[in-house]
Amino acid sequence: MDGALKENDISHVVEADKAHVWHHLTQHKPFETVDPRIIVEGKGMRVWDQNGKEYIDAVSGGVWTVNVGYGRESIADVVRDQLVTLNYFAGSAGSIPGAMFSEKLISKMPGMTRVYITNSGSEANEKAFKMVRQIAHKRYGGKKTKILYRDRDYHGSTLAAMSAGGQDERNMQYGPFAPDFVRVPHCMEYRKDEIGLGHVSGAEFGRAAADLIEDVILREGPDTVGALCLEPITAGGGVIEPPEGYWDRVREICDKYDILLHIDEVVCGLGRTGTWFGYQHYGIQPDFVTMAKGVASGYAAIACCVTTEKVFEMFKDNSDDVLNHFRDISTFGGCTAGPAAALENMRIIEDEGLLENTTKMGERMLGNLKALMDKHAVIGDVRGKGLFLGAELVKDRETKEPVSEKDIAAVVADCGAQGVIIGASNRSIPGRNNVLCFSPALIVTAEDVDRITDAVDNALAKVFG
């Protein structure tokens, strides 16, 4: 590593971090005796910590973000050029990178036309929620304000986004939440007993799982439901790919009851699953698509809420009515570094054939993980699409009882000690976070895929014998 810190600098950084930084998703007590890991440099698939230890990053920056890998000089160059030309202007004015990026993005999203730029995935989702609520007031006399969300899905950390949060452990102690967010059952085939569908399988299961959404709509009253918000493939809730037949039926149900379909592509967007967007595997047409992490691969903070012309038009009628536009702003939605980085990020994905690489390397990784099932009875299920994969660990394949969080943490730590950073599912249901998560950058090579899965093989042998 070129940028290794001198010993004195390192200890100063570590002390400053321990004294003043409040880390995300972290219990700080252990830092009284152990130093936090500080990542100081990244290049391609690799990062280095404060001690110069090298890691293969199998989770793209911890949370599925750095899709094009670290150290991209071309992104740094376009951002620098843009910053010295114009760093910022907000409100109703446009910008050159905002227009050019929006045009490029829309070219990959048939049926969608409008891009609303903001800062984070949570905010992008809140923008969609606000649009749905405003449409309910404008068009339906204040009815249709309800927003349905799914068990195990996650849509962000702000209070309204948490109100649409299907991961109970994340929400505990933060209530009360916003009204009119209503939960629908998950669609996870591996745990279909939980949703009362243990007796069905294949496409029949997919349709039956979607029908559970219709049951909720009928219970709530279709004239009260404005939107259904779903992840295309559930991420932190356990890497859950919807079953065959599910999405078609979901769209059908939304059309039947005049419900807007909001797909949260914060994780899957921009190539993660081998298509530009996760929903494009299923041939469905959403009304809202939100995205964040891979939009600029973490080189700038940018997120988007993308809609159709039909939705956009609803905010244009009665133009002299002062209430009749989307009365919303994100201060930093006016930062030009975001769309400039995002445009270059898309160029890289396209020019380097990263969608194709994602499909190819994803298949290899899935194959490797499936092969590990023969060796390790603790792997109950392996699933996912492209470079968005999970391995669910269970004490017993029959009962599917999850392994302990301590054991999951031990596997993650052992991989770390071997120089491979992997992830685990979020705290969704207390004691039920038993899925190892893999989401390397879309540039990953066959050699690195094999190194990642070899590390998992070793760690499982060590922790479970």
Footprint on this chain of ligand PMP (rule: CB under 6 A): 63, 120-122, 125, 154-157, 231, 235-236, 264, 266-267, 292
> Shortest Cβ distance from residue 15 to ligand PMP (Å)?
28
- Strands (E) located in 232-378: 260-264, 288-291, 303-307
> Shortest Cβ distance from residue 235 to ligand PMP (Å)?
5
Of 267 and 443, CB closest to ligand PMP: 267
Give the closest residue to 311 by CA, choosing from 290, 280, 337: 290
Q: For residue 14, what are the contacts with CB-CB under 8 A and spacing of at least 6?
A: 35, 36, 38, 50
Query: Are 103 and 306 contacting, i.e. CB atoms less than 8 angstroms apart?
Result: no
> Shortest Cβ distance from residue 63 to ligand PMP (Å)?
5
406: left (phi over 0), alpha (psi -120 to 50) or beta: alpha
The two beta strands, 303-307 and 288-291, are antiparallel
Give the closest residue to 132 by CA, choosing from 236, 356, 286: 286
What angle separates helix 337-351 from helix 96-107, to the nearest 10 degrees?
40
- Give how far the C-alpha of residue 57 lies from the chain's centroid of Cα atoms, to the nearest Å: 17
Of 156 and 294, CB closest to ligand PMP: 156
Of 117 and 379, CB closest to ligand PMP: 117
> Shortest Cβ distance from residue 73 to ligand PMP (Å)?
25
Question: How would you class 91 by CB atoms within 10 Å of its CB: exposed for 0-12, middle for 13-18, buried for 19 or more?
Answer: exposed
Of 72 and 155, CB closest to ligand PMP: 155
Give the closest residue to 419 by CA, choosing from 4, 36, 58, 60: 58
Of 118 and 434, CB closest to ligand PMP: 118
Of 205 and 438, CB closest to ligand PMP: 438
CA dist 384 and 233 (Å) reads 8
Q: Tally Cβ neighbours within 10 Å of residue 156.
A: 23
> Shortest Cβ distance from residue 152 to ligand PMP (Å)?
11
> Shortest Cβ distance from residue 298 to ligand PMP (Å)?
10
Query: Are 311 and 334 contacting, i.e. CB atoms less than 8 angstroms apart?
Result: no
Of 342 and 378, CB closest to ligand PMP: 342
CA dist 90 and 333 (Å) reads 7
> Shortest Cβ distance from residue 358 to ligand PMP (Å)?
18
Count Cα neighbours of 33 within 13 Å in the Cβ-side half-sphere. 2
Of 121 and 386, CB closest to ligand PMP: 121
> Shortest Cβ distance from residue 149 to ligand PMP (Å)?
11
What angle separates helix 202-220 from helix 246-256, to the nearest 10 degrees?
30
Query: Are 165 and 154 contacting, i.e. CB atoms less than 8 angstroms apart?
Result: yes
> Shortest Cβ distance from residue 3 to ligand PMP (Å)?
27
Of 232 and 245, CB closest to ligand PMP: 232
